[in-house]
Amino acid sequence: MSAYLVGQLSDPNVNVLQPHFDKFIDLDSNFYWDLQTNKLYADDVELNDIDQIFLRHNVFEEQTKHKYENYYLLKNYIEYHEDIKFYNRYHNRDVPFKLSNLKHAIDLGLSVPYTEAGSIAKQEFDTIIKPVTGGELTKLGREEDKTTTFQQHIKGINKRVYVINDKHFAFELITDQIDYRDNEDCMSFYSDIPEDELEKVKKLMEVVNLNFTAADFMVDENNKHWFLEVNSLPMFVAFDYDINGELSYAIRNELDNL
């Protein structure tokens, strides 16, 4: 049996994972699943030895209809074959649950910045704007022409914590931008996370059915960790470089422990 990586090598996150997997399939291939015989093919080659799979959309190229449909064909195939090991199997990423995830985080005792959803922020403090569905860069603001998420602006140090099963990797990010993704000169380095915060994140992962995530925090001047969100299919390649490939190695090898 084999561990498959499915995506595109123009995605640096997939590219850094490729050496760790037995087989790579381009998401732009011609897939075919015969439901009657239950046989799956990619470019006329039968895929009859799938034991584990890591599947990722490619946000670094145009999202064509073909690739989009391929992604969900494979998601359906994986859902049916419960013996295939796959991260976040029971988490419904098709409907972004960022707001409900924050409610669960509050219930579990994580410190969440004051958050409201609508078209106008009603609180007096400065707020950042984040789309309800995620994906776009955050920005400062108090009003949008569409329903959006407004969150209290916490100043401090960005921290990202990857959790893969029971393993975790924490990083601090040095940036002068509201959203570190908007800073080409952003620097990151290996850090740590208080044990009580880590345990709350792990409990949240149980509640929302995740076994692979990146949790984002903002750490203020009093070292208070403000929880911002969990991500169900996070990018990781820049952080992987910081620790000489340990993160991608863990992503591959923790599939064995699902």
The domains of the chain, with CATH numbers, are 2-80 (no CATH), 114-152 (no CATH), 157-257 (3.30.470.20)
Confidence bin at 186 (pLDDT 50/70/90): low
Which pLDDT score, from 0 to 100, does residue 191 have? 92
pLDDT tens digits, 226-244: 999 999 889 999 999 999 9
Please state the φ and ψ torsions of residue 65, each to the nearest 5 degrees: -60, -35
The Cα–Cα gap between 85 and 54 comes to 9
Which pLDDT score, from 0 to 100, does residue 6 have? 97
> In 69-97, which positions are buried (b, 16+ CB within 10 angstroms) versus exposed (e)?
ebbeebeebbeeeeebbbbbeebeeeeeb
Which pLDDT score, from 0 to 100, does residue 211 have? 96
Q: For residues 47 and 40, is the Cβ–Cβ distance under 8 A?
A: yes
Q: For residues 135 and 63, is the Cβ–Cβ distance under 8 A?
A: no
Residue type, 105: A
User: Is residue 167 helix, strand or coil?
Assistant: strand
Average pLDDT over residues 160-182: 84
The Cα–Cα gap between 255 and 211 comes to 10
Which pLDDT score, from 0 to 100, does residue 233 have? 86
Which pLDDT score, from 0 to 100, does residue 87 have? 95
CA pseudo-torsion sign 16, 18, 21, 26: positive
Residue type, 80: Y
pLDDT tens digits, 205-224: 999 999 999 999 999 999 99
Q: What contacts 184, CB < 8 A, 6 or more positions away?
A: none
The Cα–Cα gap between 203 and 25 comes to 34
Let me know the angle formed at the C-alpha of 106 by 102 and 110, rounded to the nearest 5 degrees.
100
pLDDT tens digits, 51-69: 999 999 998 988 888 998 8
* The 31-34 sheet, strands edge to edge: 31-34, 39-42, 45-46
The Cα–Cα gap between 168 and 98 comes to 21
Strand blocks (E) in the chain = 2-7, 23-26, 31-34, 39-42, 45-46, 50-55, 115-120, 127-130, 139-140, 143-152, 157-164, 167-174, 187-190, 212-219, 225-231
Check whether 95 has a pLDDT greater than 70.
Answer: no
Strand 167-174 to 157-164 pairing = antiparallel
